[in-house]
């Protein structure tokens, strides 16, 4: 039977944080409402496009000699997460440019940031996306992901300076994340949905 409680629209948590990143090996949530480890740093305001979880299955279709389809085999499976960070805070800048390339200095009484742009690949980290819909909470946990693309950064008076990131998601080493064994692990908590079996 159709039930509108099963229809989701993702919104912000009450603490206004939705996207978190931290070093590999950080204790990761295994429940949508689990407390997020402080090592997973929040990234602040996110863009109005929200989050995109892109799931790709590349397949090969096989046919018999008469041209009829007889089998489809899967060649590749991969997932990416796309996010847009609206803040130019140190956490976001380290995610975009690398931890060692962002130097924050308060010695003059206010914040100064020095950012070095270089060609080195960005490191693999752990990531969490958390959204809510009323009393419901949904979470994507990526034990091992790497920022592989940064969209164009526009500096214009009518636009936000923001950072659109694409993160490749990798399956962690077997046994290293027993509660989060896949490249992307999804958790949903729905207090408004009761067991009717």
- Is 167 inside any structural domain? yes
- Report the pLDDT value the prediction gives residue 104, as an integer from 0 to 100: 97
- Cα dihedral across residues 17, 19, 22, 24: positive or negative: positive
Quick one: which of 122, 130, 162 has its CA closest to 146? 122
155 domain residue, yes or no: yes
The boundaries of the domain holding residue 99 are 13-59+69-189
pTM confidence score:
0.93
Total domain count for the chain?
1
Give domain status of residue 6, yes or no. no
Q: What is the pLDDT of residue 195?
A: 81
Residue 194 lies in a domain: no
Question: Does a structural domain hold residue 3?
Answer: no
Asked if residue 142 is part of any domain, the answer here is yes
Nearest to 139 by CA among 184, 182, 170, 177: 184
In a domain, 1, yes or no: no
Checking if the pLDDT of 3 tops 90, the result is: no
Check pLDDT > 90 for residue 110.
yes
Whole-angstrom Cα distance, residue 23 to residue 32? 20
- Least confident among 117-121, 127-131, 191-195: 191-195
| Mean pLDDT along residues 16-39 | 97
Residue of 80, 114, 79 whose CA lies nearest to 97: 114
In this structure, is residue 2 part of a structural domain? no
Residues facing residue 61 across a β-bridge: 72
């Amino acid at each position: 039977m159709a039930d509108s409680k099963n229809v989701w629209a993702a919104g912000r948590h009450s603490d206004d944080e939705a996207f978190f990143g931290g070093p590999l090996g950080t204790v990761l949530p295994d429940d949508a409402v689990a407390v997020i480890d402080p090592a997973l740093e929040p990234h602040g305001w996110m863009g109005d496009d929200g989050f995109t979880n892109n799931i790709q299955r590349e397949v090969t279709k096989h046919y018999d000699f008469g041209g009829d389809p007889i089998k489809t085999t899967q060649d590749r499976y991969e997932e990416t997460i796309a996010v847009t960070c609206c803040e130019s805070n140190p956490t976001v800048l380290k995610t975009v440019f690398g931890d060692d390339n962002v130097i924050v200095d308060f010695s003059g009484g206010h914040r100064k940031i020095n950012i070095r742009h270089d060609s080195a690949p960005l490191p693999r980290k752990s990531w969490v996306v958390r959204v809510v819909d009323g009393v419901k909470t949904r979470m994507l946990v990526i034990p091992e992901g790497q920022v592989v693309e940064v969209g164009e950064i526009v500096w214009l008076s009518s636009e936000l300076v923001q950072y659109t990131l694409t993160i490749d998601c990798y399956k962690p080493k077997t046994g290293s994340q027993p509660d989060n064994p896949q490249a992307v692990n999804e958790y949903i908590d729905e207090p408004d949905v009761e067991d009717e079996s």
